[in-house]
Structure 1
């Protein structure tokens, strides 16, 4: 076992951090004791199960198995994003399509250009980062879109009454929504390596890879996350925009409350 990787007893001992978190939550009367405990146990169980499945995928499947695993992740990510923004019409289809476009485009470029290897142990972890980045951007875009439509309905309907098409009436809000969705990934890129070492680079360094080599991989990861987030956000907004207006370019009514996270 690599000295950089904790042993199973070490993993068990790290549960002391969860206990510390629970104590702080209880003393602060935050009402999060159960949530923290369940989240910690669920994370451990899910990661253990996924690790066992990935072991089988790495050993017995090729690129096709890796792509199938990514497709499953896209579906799960679409469902998770839809749960937070279910007040919008067709949210699950929209979220899944947006995440799929961002993931397919980013991973397609990396694989076609030979930037990363086609081995499952490379495709799945890298693809997982892409799916997570696309899901985050999609989630933010849809949440912001709902709030924007609720608050800016009078302005949108005023533009429609002046004869503007639905797309033109919604255009100013589209830009605001996409910019908001991209803020986290843009801020992460701006502070890369200055505030904290990012995950991919940290993992490679812990594995004994030379820092300059790890930096090359992290640059690729940063670029793919930027592309995936941008594509996912734009697709999510465009698809939702079509569902917001009817054939007569009228803004459809929305439920009064967005589902809580």
Structure 2
């Protein structure tokens, strides 16, 4: 009996056994994650079914305006998710959303202008989704690291400011640390692509029956665009966050105290 390239709903239901196994193992190890895993799996199912229904309508009737509206929604959601990683940083939601938007616009526009992809919804939306996701991850990592740097290195930053350095120069070493942290996952993933695992785009095309030598062309484009999107998002986040962290007189803003009332280290 041949196995279909795309599993049916019975196959999807059967795959839930893997979730049950993972939840059982987590429960036996007393990790406190079993319920979260079950809820996350059920939530993912509901979200994907709903998204599939909306995408079908956009693909059929939305055209380019519908695609752009969908991408805008993805950017807004990604900005909010990334900002949660750095609660307490000034204007974190605005910084994250703008950084993700800038990386998405530059990356996707480059692909469209050079005719790497076309603007049909079933092409533009999935590709943009990958770009937004990569930019969101880089933005979240940058914000998280910047938050840690400001909390732990405030005395060093203020010492540089007292010596006459402006905000950009005083904060530069910490911005570089945050940027390296945010960009390394994308760089490492690019280094080992195809050696450790077959990435998603290539796997999907191969499962659909496309020749491997054709599938790799699309995967190369995907890896290059994700690397660019992560870099653009991280750099934009670091620069936007710096303007939010310092006032016009180059003074470092105080961060809100953590919920337990302790103040940030000085």
When the two structures are superposed, what TM-score results if normalisation uses the length of structure 1?
A: 0.96
Unaligned residue ranges in structure 2 (runs of 5+) = 261-266
Paired residue for 1:197?
198
Q: Give the whole-Å Cα distance in 1 for the aligned partners of 2:113 and 2:17.
A: 45
Q: State the Cα deviation string for residues 3-23 of structure 1 (Å, max 9, x = none).
A: 210011100111101110111
CA distance, structure 2, for counterparts of residue 171 and residue 242 of structure 1: 12
The secondary structure found in structure 1 opposite 2:36 is helix
The offset of 1:256, in angstroms, is: 3.7
Change (3 A) 1:215 1:87: same
Partner of 2:161: helix, strand, or coil? helix
Verify: 1:71 aligned to 2:63, yes or no: no
Q: How far apart are residue 255 of structure 1 and its match?
A: 2.4
Distance across 2 between alignment mates of 1:243 and 1:26: 43
**Which ranges of structure 1 fall in alignment gaps of 5 or more residues?**
none
The answer for the alignment partner of 1:133 in structure 2 is 134
Instruction: Give the distance between the partners of 2:220 and 2:171, measured in 1 at CA.
Output: 35
Q: CA RMSD in A?
A: 1.3
* 8 Å contact from structure 1 (residues 82, 95) kept in 2: yes
How far, CA to CA, are the matches of 1:82 and 1:173 in structure 2? 19
Q: How far apart are the structure 2 equivalents of 1:132 and 1:168?
A: 31
The Cα offsets for residues 31-85 of structure 1, whole Å up to 9 and x where unpaired, read as 1121011000000000000001100110112112111100100000001111221
Cα deviations across residues 125-183 of structure 1 (Å, max 9, x unaligned)?
A: 11100000000000000000000111111111111111111111111111111111001
Residues 243 and 169 of structure 1, relative CA distance in 2, 3 Å threshold: same
- Kept in 2, the 8 Å contact 1:18–1:40? The answer is yes
Bigger relative CO (Cα 8 Å, ≥ 6 apart)? 1
1:35 aligns with 36
Q: Distance in 1 between matches of 2:85 and 2:148?
A: 12
Matched residue, 1:232: 233
Change in CA separation of 1:137 and 1:258 when aligned onto 2, cut-off 3 Å: farther
Task: Output the CA distance in 1 between the equivalents of 2:51 and 2:91.
Answer: 30
Tell me the residue number matched to 1:46: 47
Partner of 2:263: none
C-alpha separation between the residues in 2 aligned to 1:49 and 1:58? Answer: 14
Distance 1:89 1:38 in 2: 32
- Distance in 2 between residues matched to 1:33 and 1:226, nearest whole Å: 34
Q: CA deviation at 1:258?
A: 8.8
CA contact (8 A) 1:159 1:169 kept: yes
Q: Deviations over 1:201-255 (max 9, x none)?
A: 1111111111011100011111111111111111111111011111211111112
**Are 1:12 and 2:22 matched, yes or no?**
no
